[in-house]
Chain A
Amino acid sequence: MAQIFHRSANFMARASLLGVAVLAGVALTAVLVVARSPYITNQHVTRSQPIQFSHKHHVGDDGIDCRYCHTSVESSAFAGIPPTRTCMNCHSVLFNNVGYLEPVRESYRTDESIRWTKVHRLADYVYFNHSIHINKGIGCSSCHGSVNQMPLVLQASPLNMNWCLECHRNPQQNLRPKDQVFNMDWKAPANQEQVGRQLAAEYKLRTTAELTSCSTCHR
């Protein structure tokens, strides 16, 4: 009886067994890598804004405090986007005729808000509150990075759940004294572990079990 398959079928059969295993491994690895890449997390992605607003200039060069514009950060879930009036406090007299600020003046004249593009977008099923973090000694730059160095704000952290939990499981590594919360250049001291524990007790932080409970963030 004639052979059904050519001799090479033996090799093909073995090669395809190996090939399927390799392909599956590569595909799985690729999925895991892409899930952590900026393509999915938007980390380090700069977004264009209606006005070339530079945090580097306002915070870094001028030294304006975060709370001058983000007024509700200490008392509310939402840090607050300043109304055009806040801009006009200065820009009614400073640079009050340069072209690139015309959208600000137009917004002021027409009472129409400037439509900024949101940079830090959390999923709808995540409950996040700025004020609790600020009041328990987590500084702005721990999550937002060195905003005083950013000409255009970008997302400094991956904002995935693993990243949130890293801190919720081990908050003492990021706790600061209250007066350092808005310091953009804060660096953890060498004895941060010890300081952090003291601060955790002082701030009456919840236990890790409570901080990592599902319903702490998914309400």
Chain B
Amino acid sequence: MLIETKGLKKTFKSRGKEVEAVRGVDLAVKEGEVFGLLGPNGAGKTTTMRMLSTLIEPTDGHAVVCGHDLAKQSAAVRRDIGYVGQEGGTWGEVTAREELVMQGRLYGMSKKTALARAVEVLEAFQLGEYADRNVKTYSGGQKRRLDIALGIMHQPKLLFLDEPTTGLDPQSRAHMWDEVRGLRERGTAIFLTTHYLDEADALCDRLAIIDHGEIVAEGTPLELKKEVAGDVVLIGVADQAAEARTLLGDKAFVREAEAGAPDPATGVALLRLYVDDGAAALPELLRALDTAHIAPASIELHRPSLDDVFLKQTGRSLREEH
């Protein structure tokens, strides 16, 4: 295990009030995996990551990171981890090469080694042609690549990425995902925080969902989605929504049926049917509607998403907050 935590807690004091940002987190991250911490803003993701990367001290609890006790051997932890914060880590009138070499030397590399490694890293992150330009001239995507390059300059076993794609355009975001996958292929474990459902789903081998400072679910994206069970069929019906709900809800393979309120503009109400196997259920549902002379306005087959997992665990949707 690269990370193992037991009852990790952080309480901040702010204007005399105590705020429990993280309330007893138990996590395990394995070698070589991409582990995601998914949750809304203010859930405690960044605070958890800051504790694990030695930036702040836990109020309570215990953690082992890369085989070192977080509380007692923070210097050893620092040598083995890389960290890329939300704000990045560069600014203004410095060049990528200067920053990379300095970073390498802070990790104890000789000037020669640091220079050679900087060239390697610049190449790997397609920053070669901008290497000697001031970082203030960089685009968002270039800057983000440099941030990550700085984080892996010393070839850490474990890289922390705090909201790696927040604020990036879709193309840079796709690039970033490729970079993360590439790092994993080369054996670096990654611990990332995100509030993007698709990112957690597409990128993470395993993830934990955090809300109000507590882990509410942990597993592979597939496992988590299976817990919610089955598929969701959404059928839009214009006038006979109540009838259709009764008709379809009575089918043995429909676990649950809900009718939404009709859309004020179109009069179409959305039926939500929870079924085990959407592909098998769909023809049967349509046949039943046809027999009853109800014409559906829209049909959608919906695989459960991590948002459904979040919804089930917390009663709220992650999407609503963004």
A and B: partners? no
A residues bordering B, Cβ < 8 Å? none
